[in-house]
Structures are given as C-alpha cells and as structure tokens.
Structure 1
Amino acid sequence: MPPKPSPRRSTLLAELSTASRRYMAAYALFNQAVADRLGLHPTDLQCLNLLGLEAAPVTTGRVAELTGLTTGSATRLVDRLERAGYVTRARDTADRRRVLVTTVPERMAEFGAVWGRLTGGWDGLFDAYDDDEIALLLTHMRRTAELSAVQIARLRAEGDAPDSP
C-alpha cells in the first residue's frame, strides 16, 4: 500500500489540479483566438502546427495519426486546409496510389508570422527558470503529450459509451 501523502503534497496536488484545468482552458481559448485571427478552425490550426513539425509531406492517414481523428475526419480537415490555401495534395511520385499532403510555404510563412508576433511573450516566461527547471518542464510536456495520446485513443475506442461509475 502506498504511503499516505503529506498534507503539503495533498494541498499541492489539489492546487496543481486547479492550475492545470485553468492552463488547459487558457490554451484552448488562446488557440481559438489564433484560429479566429487566421480564419481557421482550432483543430485545423493545430493540424498546421503538427504538419509544420513533419520533415516531409504526409498522407491523410498520417494526418489522422497526428491529430487523433478518424481518416474521414482527417480528410475533411485536409479539404478545409486545401480550400484555405494552406496545403496542396499531389500524387506520390514513388507510389502513384498514395496522395501526399504538402504545406504551402507562403501560407505557412503567414501562419509563422502570427506565431512570431506572439512568441516574445511566451519566451519571456522562461527567463525566470534555470536549465534544470526548463528540463523538468520539458519532461512534463512530453509526458503530458504521451498521456494525452493514450487518453484520446481510449476515448475513441469507447465510442459513444457512457463512462462507467
């Protein structure tokens, strides 16, 4: 049986729970504001963010993997991004059966310019942290992303089933 948490730890965990809920809500609202500024849906904005991290053009199946969407939803997302001029589709020259989604550099530059105007404030947040604290934050963010992927898969697997008590 695990040891009983100290009163301080219990208080800190309760504060962390509240702070993390506020953090997630603040980020979701920030994401919505940036998406509104660019005339995009928030999911489309994050898909562009993820596509910008990819080393090469990707299939719509990879878009589905990156976003946690079904392939049908990912196709509709790519359709919207294509209509907005952020991506193009082209047949893979190595395998003509595959269609690759490629970002449009000029539109991605516009996307990057909006982020660029905002990053100064974000970068300044980290000035108060030493290297070990930044490493801890980085570990936390990576672990959060991994757990989020697991939770998304779990929710998708459960479908429309209500949560068990």
Structure 2
Amino acid sequence: MTDSRRARAEELSRESRRYLAAYVLFNQAIADHLSLHPTDVQCLSLLTTGPGPLTVKQIAEMTGLTTGSATRLVDRLERGGYVFRSPDQKDRRRVLVTPVPERIARVTALWDELGQNWHALLDDHTEDELEVITRHMRRARDLSHAQMRHLRSRPKPD
C-alpha cells in the first residue's frame, strides 16, 4: 500500500468513526424527540423498509437482539400504537408484526423533514459517485452484520 493510499484509508477510517458516532447520536435525538428508545426507532425504520410484516424472530435477527429482547421491543411498540401483531395466515404458529400506518406517519414525517437536507447533500454528487457511495454503504452494512455474528460467537471478556 502506498503512503498516499494508507493516509487516505486512515482518513476514511477516522471519518467513518465520526460519521457512525454522529448517526448514533442523531438516532438518539430522534428517539428522544419521539419519546422512544433508540432501538425502537431503528426497528421502525427496518419495518418500514421491508417488503412486508416481520416475525419477532426476524426482528431479533435484524437487530441482533435476543428473541426475548425483541419481544419486549415489540411489546413497547405495540403499547405505543406503532405496530400490531397478527397470526400468519400461512403458518398459524407464527405471529407477524405489522406497522400501523397512521402511527408510523408521525415518525415518517420527521424522517421526511430531516431527509430534505440529506437529499440536498446528495445533490452535489454525480450519479457515478452516488453509485460508489451506495455500493460502499451496502458492503459496509453486510460487513457489519458479519462482524456482529462473529462477536456474538466469541466468549465475552471478563
């Protein structure tokens, strides 16, 4: 690796850490504004980006929570009116968690309002740059999931 590439990679690593910290704090601010837990906000985000309802087990897998913790998360969202549970018509043993559109609209309106600035930020990029950024984000997400699985398989330090 050349010195220039090493310096660029180190700069990217620092900026990635700053970006991730800023995102975590941003998510906390959204959660505080909505009187929700940060994990609840992320669960709602994941529920609204998928093709349909999810099971508690799927929510646990997506969030990295245990099924017990995911059940408590869904309990909180259900009490808040954000989701409802219903039996899966294809497999009556399973329960599906579905967002409540009217209640989710409250969260979506906030995301839409804040998202205008995000879109303005992206306006400065060419389509090729957007493609690179999207590919990087997708690969980073996949790597994060692989790293989470790896961490969960290791014994915790004393």
| TM-score, structure 1 as length reference | 0.91
Residue 17 of structure 2: aligned partner: 21
More deviation, 47-56/139-148: 47-56
Aligned to 2:132: 136
Q: Which amino acid aligns with 1:63?
A: I
Matched-pair identity in %: 54
Please tell me whether residue 76 in structure 1 is matched to residue 77 in structure 2. Answer: no
Alpha-carbon deviation of 1:151? Answer: 0.7
Query: Alpha-carbon deviation of 1:43?
Result: 0.8
Which secondary structure state, in structure 1, belongs to the residue aligned with residue 123 of structure 2? helix
3-state SS of paired residue (2:153): helix
Pairing 1:47–2:43 present: yes
Q: What does residue 67 of structure 1 align with?
A: 63
Query: Equivalent of 1:89, from 85, 88, 101?
Result: 85
> Which whole-Å CA distance do the structure 2 matches of 1:24 and 1:66 have between them?
18
**What amino acid sits opposite 1:28 in the alignment?**
V
Letter aligned with residue 143 of structure 1: R
Runs of 5+ consecutive residues of structure 2 not aligned to the other structure: none
Q: Which runs of 4+ in 1 moved over 4 A?
A: none
Cα distance in 2 for partners of 1:66, 1:161 equals 24
Gaps of 5+ in 1: none
CA distance in 1, matches of 2:90, 2:137: 36
* Alpha-carbon separation, structure 1, partners of 2:139 and 2:34: 30
In structure 2, relative to structure 1, the CA distance for the partners of 1:159 and 1:52 (3 Å cut) is farther
What is the CA–CA distance in structure 2 between the aligned matches of 1:23 and 1:104, rounded to whole Å? 31
SS at match of 1:128: coil
Counterpart AA for 2:32: D
* Alignment pair present for 1:152 and 2:148: yes
* Matched residue type, 1:122: W
Instruction: Look up the match of 2:6.
Output: 10
Which residue in 1 is equivalent to 2:26? 30
String of CA shifts for 1:10-29, please: whole Å, max 9, x gaps: 11111111111100000000
* Residue-by-residue CA offset, 1:3-59 (whole Å, 9 max, x unaligned): xx2111111111111111100000000010011111111111001000001222111
Match for 1:118 among 114, 118, 123?
114
**Superposition CA RMSD, Å:** 1.2
Cα deviation 1:105-150 (Å, max 9, x = unaligned): 1011111001011011100111111011000000000000000000
